[in-house]
Amino acid sequence: MQMDAQIRERDRLISLDRYDVLDTPSEEGFDRITRLTRRLFGVSMSTITFIDGHRLWFKSQQGMAMGQTSKEEAFCDTVIRGTGPLVVSDTLADTRYSHNPFVLGDPHIRFYAGVPLRTPDGHNIGTLSAMDSKPRDVEETDLQVLSDLASIVMDELELRMTASTDELTGALSRRAFREEAGRAIALALRHGHELSCVCFDLDHFKSINDGHGHAMGDLVLRESVATCIETLRQSDLLGRMGGEEFAILLPHTGPATAMKVAEKVRAAVAGLPIIGTNGKIPVSASFGVSTLGQGVCDIDELLKRADIALYSAKTSGRNKCVEWVDAETAPPVVRRRVLKAGVISFNGGRSAIDCTVRNLSPVSAGLDVINVNDVPQRFKLQIKSDALYRACRIVAKRERHVEVEFW
């Protein structure tokens, strides 16, 4: 039975990974559904949630301020393990949930109704939930409406898979960028051409949204992309990878030229004349650059190295360009992209932290966690679906992610 559960969870994560939805920017199609759910049920909160190996990640939320949280003790995790809706009319009157931290603390859930987001092949990858801070009852017809809305969420996901451009900015969607980049890398490897990748992230973007409103934040995103397109060649690829995160692929471009291109784009973004209600809004971005070769043969490794360099640019002052260098903090082993549930075990097996394995090789791995500060320098990693159990040491860490080597 335990092995069957592990196989089901493995297949569920594979199904989730196909949609490439985790950590993607907000989209009006999904926000419209949570707004509608909130109005139809008269509740204070509604979410569209996807669940990987260690967390709940909210693609859309109304009435809540969390971006992600541990799946431990979460209502949504219970929903995906069942076959139908979960309804808790009064959480404090239900012994299963009366001591739940999401009931006793923020967001103080007293009523919960959730239905699974089920893929065509039968896997529950997330939930559509309606919640309130006071008890309430629901009718069977209400649950049918919630199920219909969940089906619309899945229809939206299927449509999103076919979209090639980001609706807000006009950049390539993340999926389209990865597909186009994969073809460009294959050509470069076949013919021995140079190729580079640039990842960049707008600095202090949250403060723009918070201080000037989301409409102004959207304008900054659109203008930043527009100035990038004006600066780049037609053969270059530009994709939106996350909320304010972008990637550029530069065919026939070596590291020195890629750094010059990154610097040119950085200067163009920093010079944007974005005017808010209180005058000019300062806009800048941080850049990381990586190049094909030296153990890099796919887009995942190329993006990972550029992202490490980007993180270095962020931590060393922002609004600058940094090139990836082969160092102890960035092991050059090529790993395959995966989405697997893992467990970090330490203190002689007495302590455990759920994680999601995002990339893996015979000698190393990249792990996502809720809080890197909770992870010790040395631990044991277990991937039950692969019957893998390895002693690890951390070689690099950044926000919610650790790179480890097996030993």
Q: What is the pLDDT along the chain (407 residues), one digit of tens a residue?
A: 566 788 899 999 999 999 989 988 788 899 999 999 999 999 999 999 999 999 999 999 999 987 789 998 899 999 999 889 999 999 999 999 999 999 999 999 999 999 999 999 999 999 999 999 999 999 999 999 999 999 999 999 998 888 899 989 999 999 999 999 999 999 999 888 999 999 999 999 989 988 898 899 999 999 999 999 999 999 999 999 988 999 999 999 999 999 999 999 999 999 999 988 778 899 999 999 999 986 777 898 899 899 999 999 999 999 999 999 875 444 456 678 899 999 999 999 999 999 999 999 899 999 999 999 999 999 999 999 999 999 999 998 888 899 999 99
Taking each helix axis from N to C end, the angle separating 214-231 and 255-270, rounded to the nearest 10 degrees, works out to 140
Of how many residues is the chain composed? 407
DSSP string, 7-67: HHHHHHHHHHHHHT-TTPPP-HHHHHHHHHHHHHHT-SEEEEEEE-SSEEEEEEEES---S
Query: How many Cα neighbours within 13 Å face the side chain of 386?
Result: 16
pLDDT for residue 222: 96
Q: In the chain, which residues fall in CATH 2.40.10.220?
A: 336-406
Q: How many helices (H) and strands (E) does the chain have?
A: 10, 19
Max distance between CA atoms of the chain, in angstroms, equals: 67
What CATH number is given for 19-162 in this structure? 3.30.450.40
CA atoms within 13 A on the CB side of 175: 17
Looking at CATH, the fold of the domain delimited by 336-406 is given as: Thrombin, subunit H (2.40.10)
Global confidence as pTM: 0.81
Q: Are strands 364-368 and 401-406 parallel, antiparallel or unpaired?
A: antiparallel
The confidence score (pLDDT) of residue 25 equals 79
- Catalytic-residue membership of 158: no
Write the DSSP assignment of 284-313 as a string of letters: -EEEEEEESBTTB-SHHHHHHHHHHHHHHH
Q: What angle do CA 58, 288, 251 make, to 5 degrees?
A: 105
Angle formed at CA 127 by CA 125 and CA 129, multiple of 5 degrees: 175
In the chain, which segments carry CATH 3.30.450.40? 19-162
- Angle ∠(235,240,243) on CA atoms, nearest 5: 160
Residue 3 pLDDT: 60
**Residue 331 pLDDT:** 47
- Selecting among 244, 301, 323, 405, the annotated active-site residue is 244
Residue 98: CA count within 13 A, CB half-sphere: 4
Question: Do 192 and 251 form a contact (C-beta atoms < 8 A)?
Answer: no
CATH number corresponding to 174-323:
3.30.70.270
**For the chain, where do the domains classified as CATH 3.30.70.270 start and end?**
174-323
CA atoms of 300 and 235, how far apart (whole Å): 20
What is residue 126's three-state secondary structure? strand
Q: Which structure tokens are listed for 117?
A: 């987001």
